[in-house]
Structure formats: structure tokens, C-alpha cells
Amino acid sequence: MIFPCIDIMDGKAVQLVQGRDKALEAEAPEEMLRKFAAFPQIQVIDLDAAMGRGSNDGLVRVLASKAAIRAGGGVRTVERARALVEQGVRKVIVGTSAFSESGINHEFLQALRDGIGRDRLIVALDSKYGRIVVKGWREATALTAEEVLGPLEPTAAGGVTSMEDVRALLAMNVHVAIGMAMYTGRLKLEDLAPASVAQE
């Protein structure tokens, strides 16, 4: 399945390069949601919450009232995960807090599973030079994605720039979250829409 991405910062839809530098500012999040209407679920990341400098909870609630969304950003506690679910989010994405210095943070993931349900939980694996990175791409762990992918739902995001990438990932039964390539036009919405991909 393909998930268009809306990353929110200061109430605006943006795209960052490796979680740091703003590469572009898109249309209003609600307008992006309208453009993505053909997709069964949209991925929304609250970058302000992820960076610990506030949140866009009101906007996330509005988006969740208009579409099926999976959302993350700053999910460091079970309470935060529950708050997202209460805002109408279908699935909660956890990144940095899913890992500790010794590996997977099983205790926290277990608490999340118990708190919101396993079917609502997604773990994000950001990877750079083969290692999982956390804290907005600023810290590398000793883990590789391959080491932790087994028990986690396979989701690929980042670096997906062509229909060949999309087809290869879908053929491996890996869900694909796409942001930058869609915003810049390298991948066309009409080519990624569920009906178009299913026909190929």
C-alpha cells in the first residue's frame, strides 16, 4: 500500500531533508489532504512535536476528522499515543522512543501495545548509511534495519524516487510512504493512486 505523507511544521506542510533542513513548503495541509483523497490512508508527521517544540494537535485532529490518517511525531509516552488516538488517528507512528542504547525498546513498545493496541502501532525505521538513526536523524544507533525488521511491520519511506522503487517495494509486500518525490513532481499522484498501481 502507498501512503502519501504530510509533514507539518508551524501549521504548514513541509518537506525536510533527513529530518533537518527545510527543502520546500507545500500547500496548506488540508489542501494536501484533498489532493490525496484517492488514497485510503495518509501519513501525517507533526515535526514540531517530534522536535519537542510544541505540537500541531489541533490541525492533526482536523485532518483526522476528514481522512483516515496514521500519525506520529513526539510519541515518547503512552499518553501521547493515546492522545493521538483520541484525536481520531487510525494508527500511531513511533520512532526514536522505539529504540534504546541496547537495541529495541521492548518495554516501551509493550506498554504502547497494551495502551492503544498492536493493530494501531507502527514503528518508524529511519536509516542512514545502513544504521538506524534517531532524534531527527541526529544520532546513529548500532542497529541495522535488517536486524529489527523481523518483528516489526515492514514500512519503507525516504529515498523512494521512481515507479521502479515503488513497484520493487510493493512486490516485497512492503508498504511505501512517499513525500518529497510527490511534492517535487518526480512521482505523479495519478500514477501512484491505488487504481493505477493495481493495473500495472
Residue 46 designated active-site: no
Out of 7, 46, 48, 57, which one is annotated catalytic? 7
The CA–CA distances, whole Å, from 24 to 11, 110, 154 equal: 14, 36, 27
Only one residue has cell 504530510, namely 6
Residue 126 designated active-site: yes
Out of 114, 119, 126, 165, which one is annotated catalytic? 126
147-156's contacts with Cβ under 8 Å and 24+ in sequence apart are 148/103, 148/104, 149/125, 151/104, 152/123, 152/125, 153/122, 153/123, 155/122, 155/124, 155/125
**Catalytically annotated residues:** 7, 126
